Structure 1
Amino acid sequence: MLIKKYVRVAEDSKAELVLQLMLKEWQMEKPKLLLSVHGGLQNFTLPPKVKHSFSRGLITAALSTGAWIFTDGVNTGVSKYVGEAVKTFGSHKLRKRNTVGLTSWGLIDNNMELIGRDVFRPYQPVGNPLSKRASLNRFHSHFLLVDDGTLGKYGCQQGLRRNLEKQIQLQRIHPRLNHGVPVLCVVIEGGPALVSTVLDYVSRAPPVPVLIFEGSGRAADLLAFLHKQTANHRHVFDPVMEAWKASHLYSLLLQCMDYRQAVSQPSAKQSQENKL
């Protein structure tokens, strides 16, 4: 596996400098849309219909708009599904230019092999099944490897990812138009921390729209369920949800529903047409 476009950056790196590197040094074309994909880090199984709808829809949207795709960049969980989608449905250009993994440096298996300056590095993960580290997904075109000095821990990249997305939103799609780059958060499966991520997106001013794939499991299904149940009223009468009322997670879920106009799910027609 040959990793060509990657850079190791500090967690407090300025987002505007990172974006400048991507546009000028890596010569990436300015996106007209940013698709930020979030979900489970560990491996999980998607039902075939959900997998096809997500994969085909994601790549169709990326190809038709010239979008960038952001993921965690590892070869597990939702990032692996994005890589498979790029492999199966992506064009040569998409494979080479538009899929960016923002990954914790200390989480990467055998990361010492990636140390160097202005060189191509063959990357071969050790693959120890007992290791807490993860390998990079080879169907991503670029990697931002975020280093906070920790080893084997996930999450230090999230602050830079958030700031970089906001910086991209400030970019003008056309110099004569006063429109920045739109961002769409795409949610597949995921754990409790993902609910906080969704709340961060929808509570921004203006809110970032969130597309949730129901049937993918865990957090995504909880959000999709509440989104349907609160269509006409905020109180949920489901007995399982009643048992959660004292939990912090339930509170976060309901806070997300305060911004439910920013949350959507692929309709049956969209799923059938494989579009986001």
Structure 2
Amino acid sequence: KAMYIRVSYDSKPDSLLHLMVKEWQLELPKLLISVHGGLQNFEMQPKLKQVFGKGLIKAAMTTGAWIFTGGVSTGVIRHVGDALKDHSSKSRGRICAIGIAPWGIVENKEDLIGKDVTKPYQTMSNPLSKLSVLNSSHTHFILADNGTLGKYGAEVKLRRQLEKHISLQKINTRLGQGVPVVALIVEGGPNVITIVLECLREEPPVPVVVCDGSGRASDIMSFAHKYSEEGGESLRDQLLVTIQKTFNYSRNQAHQLLVVLMECMKKKELVRYENMNETIRFSMQQDAINILGSN
């Protein structure tokens, strides 16, 4: 059973956190892992999937983390859901996974309408539909409604503000420490590179862990990181070609994204690349504290 609420896209983050703590009776996390990545379905090689799942679960279990995702059962969120499902079948420890999705994108949303009700929800996806089903391995859902149908966007600002608000909650009053937030990047389209830059520009910045080897945006960032030291025109040209190919972009579009990517590289001390072909360390809480402490 999962708890869910449909809210206006401009709901205040303090009211949402109040609901989560008081109504849903969640304890403030010691770490917030915010997962971003591809929304289209993509295959992960079984070994990568296993390494990713194990690393994520271990990070969440050892720190008492909350995991934030986009909530629907596609792309990276499906892989997170599979890891959660695998964990819950073997262990009693429940991980708090909160899906923040736009109401307008949710398949069978009519089944969810009602106040203080328990509703059955069909999680089988309809291949012909443009909408997406919620992922059944999540424990909670916040569904942001801005009146649109079949479109993403309503949830973006709400999620960002809620993450920021959680990061300001003092979990260690003696040290005056807030909740560390880490962005975890898996695969991803061009918008994911923009999300990374927004994380790095936050005050204080949100450290980023990129799963190198997961594909598309993650691999482009990793490639840029590896070679940004030597830099030069040949790297720029190679990146432009790779961006064009990967995202089916015109040269002009690729150029605009390259500017964003190069801005990310200026703050590369805040980004860690996990090689998905090895075991993932995912010591994210320590990362967040180290990175934020050293700035």
What TM-score does the superposition give when structure 1 sets the normalisation length?
0.92
Matches of 2:155 and 2:47 in 1, distance apart? 31
CA drift at 1:206: 1.9
Match of 1:14 in 2: 12
Matches of 1:56 and 1:17 in 2, distance apart? 33
CA drift at 1:126: 6.9
Match of 2:265 in 1: 257
Matches of 2:280 and 2:211 in 1, distance apart? 15
1:167-188 alpha-carbon deviations (Å, 9 max, x no partner): 0001111222210000010000
CA drift at 1:47: 2.3
Query: What is the 5 A alignment of 1:44-193?
Result: 44-90=42-88, 91-95=91-95, 98-125=96-123, 127-193=125-191
1:119-177 alpha-carbon deviations (Å, 9 max, x no partner): 11101157432211000000000000000000011121010000000000011112222
2:210 to 209, 212, 219: 212
Unpaired segments ≥5 residues, structure 2: 244-250, 284-295
Matches of 2:233 and 2:37 in 1, distance apart? 24
CA drift at 1:54: 1.4
Secondary structure of the residue aligned to 1:206 is: coil
CA drift at 1:203: 1.5
Matches of 1:198 and 1:131 in 2, distance apart? 30
CA drift at 1:234: 4.5
Secondary structure of the residue aligned to 1:94 is: coil
Cα 1:234–1:165 change in 2 (3 A) is farther
Following TM superposition, the consecutive aligned residue runs of length 4 or more in structure 1 with deviations greater than 6 angstroms are none
CA drift at 1:93: 3.5
Unpaired segments ≥5 residues, structure 1: none
CA drift at 1:193: 0.7
Match of 2:279 in 1: 272
| Contact 2:207 2:270 (8 Å CA) reproduced | yes
What TM-score does the superposition give when structure 2 sets the normalisation length?
0.86
| Contact 2:51 2:278 (8 Å CA) reproduced | yes
2:29 to 6, 31, 34: 31
CA drift at 1:78: 0.7
